Amino acid sequence: MQRPVEAAWAARIRRLILGVDRISAFVGKAFAWLIGALMVIVSAEVIKRYLLNAPSAWVFDVTAMMYGACFMMCGAYTLAQNKHVRGDFLYGSMRPRMQAGLDLALYLAFFLPGILSLVVAGWEFAHDSWAIREHTSTTAEGPPLYPIKLLIPVAGLLVLLQGAAEMIRCVICLRTGQWPERLKDVEETDVVEQQLEASTHVDAQARQEAIANIEAIDAAAHQRTIVGGERG
């Protein structure tokens, strides 16, 4: 059983990593709207090019920059959702502590050096680009390129921040044997609790029991292991 001081620190750490999740989610969802803008621009360009015979030379550059911005700025959100590609055949059969140990080792060996290099190199690219107010070279008055290059180190810092939260999760799992919840788990639990609170078809005692047990049910449902791994 946790001591009061340990419980308080655990709650603070939980709020910290969920706060990082919220930052990543906010940025990722905001930049995801670029997909809708891309669809509109590309559709308009198709009409102009093939129906009106009036193509725009700058559209290709703009769409490439918009897609690049979306790709980079959604990286931290993807990491927060645990949706990056993973070789899951062996990983899924491991116990949580083994998963956490492997994740932490890979974060330290590959993630940190790679992302730190991205931030440093991205800052140099962005600095040089802003110094000359770089534009694309497709046309004489090509779209400005320097704001997009600034997103390289910004995206790297966001992924680095989310990676730090993931490493904290690994440490927590190594100590407790269970993966801590993610923002999506908390949101799903909140929705279920709100639905139960608002329900008129469930008596008060059953409603309170369901709300009291919802966190344990959610943790079991989202535990990243299989029955065979637990028995092994």
Cα 22–70–180 angle (5° rounding)?
30
pLDDT of residue 226: 36
Contacts of 2 (CB under 8 A, 6+ apart): 10
List of residues 6+ apart from 205 with CB closer than 8 A = none
- Sequence-separated (6 or more) residues with CB below 8 Å from residue 124: none
- Shortest CA distance to 20 belongs to which of 82, 72, 77? 77
Angle (deg, nearest 10), helices 96-106 and 146-176: 140
- The pLDDT assigned to 229 comes to 39
> What is the average pLDDT value for the chain, to the nearest integer?
82
Position 89 scores a pLDDT of 73
- pLDDT number for residue 195: 56
Residues recorded for the chain: 232
Q: Name which of 72, 166, 39 is nearest 111 in CA terms.
A: 166
Secondary structure (3-state) at 135: strand
Which pLDDT score is estimated for 58?
85
Q: Residue 144 phi/psi, 5° resolution?
A: -65, 135
| Domain definitions of the chain by residue range | 4-180, 182-232
Residues of the chain falling short of pLDDT 70: 1-2, 87-88, 138-141, 185-232
Q: How far apart are CA 69 and CA 31, in angstroms?
A: 8
Q: What is the pLDDT of residue 7?
A: 76
Cβ atoms < 10 Å from Cβ of 134: 18
- As a whole number of angstroms, the longest Cα–Cα distance in the chain is 73
pTM: 0.78
